[in-house]
Amino acid sequence: MYKFEKPEQIDVQSLRKKISGASARGDQAEPAEGQGINPLAQQIAQQFSESSFTPAMIVGLLRLAEFAGVFITGLLVHITYNTGSHFPFLGYISIIAVGSAFTVLLLQITDAYQIPALRTPSKILPRILGAWAITFALMAVAIFFLKSGHEYSRVWFLSWFMGGAGYLVLERSLVAFAIRRWARNGVMERRAVIVGGGAPAKALIRAFEQQPDNDIRICGIFDDRGEARSPAIVAGYPKLGTIGELVEFARLARIDMLIIALPLTAESRILQLLKKLWVLPVDIRLAAHSNSLRFRPRSYSHIGAVPMLDIFDKPIRDWDSVAKRIFDIAFSLVALALLWPAMIGAAIAIKTTSKGPVFFMQKRHGFNNEIINVLKFRSMYTEMSDPTARLAVTKGDPRVTPVGRFLRKSSIDELPQLFNVLRGQLSLVGPRPHAVLAQTHDRAYADIVEGYFARHRVKPGVTGWAQINGWRGEIDHDDKIKFRTAYDLYYIENWSLFFDLKILFLTPFRLLNTENAY
């Protein structure tokens, strides 16, 4: 098999740059929001409206469970066997922890955490017990060379080995049963849609059918072409609509992956599809199973044995999302503990200086373009408030109360959004959520920046990269929303917990600049 370097006309990085360039120029096509989907597509989308656990999450939890199970087994054996002798407790804890961690590492190295291996534990039982035995052999050698064998009980050592082996065998059998059940009822799967119909889609589906252990569930096919070139049924799967309808379907059905079934040489059509689809928080893959061109092995990812070219990855996924959620909860609780006097003072000031409620709730775009209710301190006179945000607040706006003007300049009016963070609707750091009907000069933001909805691939935030770079306040010029969107997209593509921490640390200092806040 020959290996070719990626030619320019189908280079993945080139495609990404062209999409980003089109967005910056404002010539990117954006699917119409709210475009209806047909009844069949709606029915199928409702079947997949509940979130699923990806295999990466399941495997990560399994690693933690096996570490904890092996550790607890060794600890229980020690507690049971230790009758008050001179056995060093800290020494036992250390060796149990090291042995448990090394077992998980060896199981990872031997591919014992692959989904096919988890489905059929009997086939990899020798591998599991072998990893466990190697761990004990290495611990025995280490204890011998450290001349500390007299400090550890051989009875305990052998009992832990037998107990741990029994635990791993029993636990893997239960996991295999659970995974097969989860695969049947949709708890553990990656939901995929095939983009493009006809013969390429049929060949791709047949290739998947030859991989019974893959975790992909095909939810349907979408294609703009008519039935002459793209039949209504392909390999038993229905064509559910056009590419424009796919955007809404993917959001409703919580799709994880879009697989483009087109030849690699169809660059212009692939590019047009990506311009419409990249705004979704999903993995986008280009099927490469039936192409004569072959790239270097590291250019591919695989679903089973089916090769794919990675075009876009879902941002902040799997364990990254867990880490970010823990970060949000921890720092939100700290912020509430520190800022509650300011929040109570603001509430009292609002209530005593103007009629109406203390809080103001507004519908805004959240993750995946979902509508959420965002909480703020009321800063306007109740009778003049604008829940739709059609009319942006301007300098000296008569609708804003004197107290509200201070709250807006200091951003204290945003502090109740910490409760949105704890509820999981917002993140502490992310693109700022805009009101659903927000606009400037009678034009919606999406009409000005056609890649605008790509901001919603992650949860919106209380503060963000755009805000600490000066892009906050009134949007009275097209360039302001363009730059804000550009900074938001940069944040999404370069996210890390350290980046979040940096933004969070800089936010109080940047708030001192109130030039654009009113």
Domain for residue 1, yes or no?
Answer: no
Domain for residue 462, yes or no?
Answer: yes
- 477: pLDDT strictly greater than 60: yes
Domain for residue 59, yes or no?
Answer: yes
Same domain, 398 and 339: yes
Q: What percent of the chain has pLDDT over 70?
A: 83
Q: What percent of the chain has pLDDT over 90?
A: 24
Contact 504, 428 (CB under 8 A): yes
Instruction: Name the 3-class secondary structure at 269.
Output: helix
Contact 460, 432 (CB under 8 A): yes
Contact 359, 379 (CB under 8 A): no
Contact 375, 417 (CB under 8 A): yes
- 283: pLDDT strictly greater than 80: yes
Question: How large is the average pLDDT for residues 193-208?
Answer: 85
Same domain, 460 and 366: yes
Same domain, 72 and 208: no
- What pLDDT was estimated at residue 34? 38
Q: Which of 183-192, 246-255, 323-332, 459-468 has the lowest mean pLDDT?
A: 183-192
- 463: pLDDT strictly greater than 60: yes
Question: Which residue bears the tokens 């589906």?
Answer: 205
Question: Could you please report the per-residue DSSP string of 27-46?
Answer: ----PPTT----HHHHHHHH
Contact 275, 28 (CB under 8 A): yes
Predicted TM-score of the model (pTM)? 0.76
- 19: pLDDT strictly greater than 50: no
Question: How large is the average pLDDT for residues 104-115?
Answer: 89
Domain for residue 3, yes or no?
Answer: no
- What pLDDT was estimated at residue 264? 73
Determine the Cα angle at 316 with ends 314 and 321, to 5°.
130
Average pLDDT, the chain: 80
For residues 374 and 434, what is the distance between their CA atoms, to the nearest angstrom? Answer: 10
Residue type, 31: P
For residues 334 and 389, what is the distance between their CA atoms, to the nearest angstrom? Answer: 31
Same domain, 325 and 309: no
Same domain, 275 and 330: no
Q: CB-based contacts of 338: which residues, under 8 Å, 6+ apart? A: none
Structure tokens at 345: 């003072």
Same domain, 75 and 171: yes
Question: How large is the average pLDDT for residues 247-264?
Answer: 85
pLDDT band at 64 (very low <50, low <70, confident <90, very high): very high
For residues 397 and 474, what is the distance between their CA atoms, to the nearest angstrom? Answer: 11
Last residue of a domain, one of 168, 185, 202: 185
pLDDT in tens, 311-321: 888 898 888 88
Q: Which residue has the higher pLDDT, 21 or 180?
A: 180
- What pLDDT was estimated at residue 28? 40
Domain for residue 518, yes or no?
Answer: no
pLDDT band at 248 (very low <50, low <70, confident <90, very high): confident
Name the phi and psi angles at 475, rounded to 5. Answer: -110, 95
Same domain, 305 and 357: no
For residues 299 and 501, what is the distance between their CA atoms, to the nearest angstrom? Answer: 33
Same domain, 302 and 258: yes
Same domain, 242 and 350: no
Last residue of a domain, one of 296, 314, 332: 314
Q: Which of 95-109, 145-159, 277-291, 340-354 has the lowest mean pLDDT?
A: 145-159
Q: Which residue has the higher pLDDT, 393 or 6?
A: 393
pLDDT in tens, 20-33: 454 444 444 343 44
Q: Give how many domains the chain has, as a whole number.
A: 3
Domain for residue 245, yes or no?
Answer: yes
Question: Could you please report the per-residue DSSP string of 315-336?
Answer: SS-HHHHHHHHHHHHHHHHHHH
Q: CB-based contacts of 189: which residues, under 8 Å, 6+ apart? A: 52, 182, 183, 215, 216, 217
pLDDT band at 290 (very low <50, low <70, confident <90, very high): low
User: Between β-strands 371-377 and 427-429, what pairing exists: parallel, antiparallel or unpaired?
Assistant: unpaired
Question: How large is the average pLDDT for residues 204-219?
Answer: 80
Question: How large is the average pLDDT for residues 61-79?
Answer: 91
Domain for residue 404, yes or no?
Answer: yes
- What pLDDT was estimated at residue 103? 93
Same domain, 308 and 220: yes
Question: How large is the average pLDDT for residues 327-340?
Answer: 94
Q: Which residue has the higher pLDDT, 198 or 99?
A: 99
* Side-chain half-sphere CA neighbours of 314 within 13 A: 21
Question: How large is the average pLDDT for residues 213-220?
Answer: 80
- 442: pLDDT strictly greater than 60: yes
- What pLDDT was estimated at residue 291? 58
Question: Could you please report the per-residue DSSP string of 198-235?
Answer: HHHHHHHHHHHHT-TT--EEEEEEE-SS-TTTS-SEET
Same domain, 450 and 404: yes
pLDDT in tens, 334-355: 999 999 999 999 999 998 888 8
pLDDT in tens, 291-304: 555 555 556 777 77
Residue type, 94: S
- What pLDDT was estimated at residue 23? 44
Distances (CA, A) of 329 to 333, 417, 430, 439: 6, 12, 15, 32
Domain for residue 172, yes or no?
Answer: yes
Last residue of a domain, one of 135, 153, 185: 185
pLDDT band at 88 (very low <50, low <70, confident <90, very high): low
Here the CATH number for the domain that contains residue 198 is 3.40.50.20
Range of the domain at 117: 55-185
Question: Could you please report the per-residue DSSP string of 48-106?
Answer: T-S--B-HHHHHHHHHHHHHHHHHHHHHHHHHHH--S-S--HHHHHHHHHHHHHHHHHH
Same domain, 147 and 222: no
Alpha helices in 354-464, H assignment, sequence order: 402-410, 417-422, 445-448
